[in-house]
Amino acid sequence: MNINRQVLTLDEFTIQEMRAYPKATGELSSLLRDIGLAAKRVNVEVNKAGLVDILGDAGSVNVQGEDVKKMDIYANNQFIGVLKHGISCAGLGSEELEEIVVFNDVVSNNSKYVVIIDPLDGSSNIDVNVTIGTIFGVYRRVTKVGTPCTIEDFLQTGKNQVAAGYIIYGSSTMMVYATHRGVNGFTLDPSIGEFCLSHPNIQCPEKGKIYSVNYSNFFKFEIGIQKYIEACQTKTNEHNGPYTQRYVGSMVADVHRNLIKGGIFMYPGVLDKPFGKLRLLYECNPFAFIMEIAGGKATDGKKSILDIKPEKLHQRTPFFIGSKLMMEELESYLNSKYD
Ligand code: P6P
């Protein structure tokens, strides 16, 4: 093994990136390092969740009306803690909180960024040891620096993100984040407690052989989606089908796999839930930003996810994301007429 292999840590990488922008203030680098720190703390608890009394329902119900697992609360508090006491964030919007958290102290009010986050997505999988994740997006605030941030800073279109990423707590723990300079993945090395650059310049293959959807909803989907899924299962699709179906039921796991290997992930709306289940601000927008920087696509079935102007913090959207050619193939089925 080459012991001199230069493995960049997350901190070294963000500082190196900062050097590419001589005018950079270092606030974004500092914010990403803060997120990495909170992720390491969450990772410790996720990895031993079965051993300590942190499993199971916390007894409360979150704004989504879902039973809140104790880990949700722990993760939420970790991210709020590091961002509030850092120097780069004016406030935070979270899946776990009905309203935004305005840090409202002198340093925070002088910060130029806000963060939107799903602190622990897929938390219903915690008790059965299935991969879960954190999803985040970073925006430059639109309100005046020096004043407390407001909801207006969070209701921006996804294309305004300056960075977005996720942490996947799986067979290993990885932090993947994108800026307009590219998508890079960092694997946690427990022996030194650092995220180390393991997946530089991630590009999503323009086609793959994996489709991800909760098939139990098949008969509720619009006809174009049904026809596309049938094409995935047969040789009729353009890219040497049949494809294989992979669906973990944890968005971070499913989208990360498809980002690396190529594939398509679908969470459509249905008649009684036309906007589907997934949240625009802290689930779909971050992944859409990452995927588009990596060469893939993400839509609501009609337009780019990143062009949707949010009206509410917790609004949902139908969500289709993945390899460019597979997304274009899906769009051809959605735009076709069926008798
Ligand atoms: P379903 C997890 O609860 C989650 O929000 C996403 O991580 C995941 O993709 C989706 O819901 C799974 O939903 O309805 O297929 O169980």
User: Which CATH number covers residue 289?
Assistant: 3.40.190.80
**In the predicted structure, residue 52 carries a pLDDT above the cut 90:** no
Ligand 1 centroid to Cα of residue 303, in Å, is 22
Considering its fold, how many domains does the chain have in total? 2
The residue contributing the CA closest to ligand 1 atom 16 is 249
Query: Looking at residue 124, what is its pLDDT?
Result: 77
Same domain, 221 and 163: no
Same domain, 38 and 121: yes
Same domain, 78 and 105: yes
Query: Is residue 4 situated within a structural domain?
Result: no
Closest CA to 64 of 101, 93, 95: 95
Closest CA to 295 of 185, 187, 182: 182
User: Which CATH number covers residue 190?
Assistant: 3.30.540.10
Atom of ligand 1 nearest to the CA of 252: 7
Among 250, 258, 317, name the best residue to mutate to test ligand 1's pocket (greatest count of ligand atoms within 8 A of Cβ): 250
Ligand 1 centroid to Cα of residue 76, in Å, is 19
Query: Is residue 157 situated within a structural domain?
Result: yes
User: Which residues form the pocket of ligand 1, taking CB atoms under 6 Å from any ligand atom?
Assistant: 121-122, 124, 214, 249-251, 254, 277
pLDDT digits (tens, 9 = 90+) for 204-235: 999 999 999 999 999 999 999 999 999 999 86
d(CA 263, CA 245): 10
pLDDT digits (tens, 9 = 90+) for 140-185: 999 999 999 999 999 999 999 999 999 999 999 999 999 999 999 9
Residue with tokens 């984040």: 177
d(CA 3, CA 22): 32
Q: Residue range 185-204: average pLDDT? A: 96
pTM of the model: 0.94
Distances (CA, A) of 228 to 41, 160, 235, 249, 277: 42, 31, 12, 20, 20
Same domain, 165 and 283: no
Same domain, 141 and 83: yes
Same domain, 256 and 150: no
Same domain, 19 and 51: yes
Same domain, 93 and 228: no
Domain hosting residue 296, numbered range: 210-334
Query: Is residue 205 situated within a structural domain?
Result: no
CB atoms within 10 A of CB 315: 14
Query: Is residue 69 situated within a structural domain?
Result: yes
Q: Residue range 21-47: average pLDDT? A: 91
Instruction: Kindly state the tokens that stand for 138.
Output: 């970073």
Burial code (b: 16+ CB inside 10 Å, e: under 16) for 48-72 equals ebeeeebeeeeeeebeeeeebbbbb
What mean pLDDT value characterizes the chain? 92
Of 199, 222, 256, the one marking the end of a domain is 199
Query: Is residue 1 situated within a structural domain?
Result: no
Of 180, 199, 218, the one marking the end of a domain is 199
Of 199, 221, 237, the one marking the end of a domain is 199
Query: Is residue 3 situated within a structural domain?
Result: no
Atom of ligand 1 nearest to the CA of 254: 9
Atom of ligand 1 nearest to the CA of 124: 3
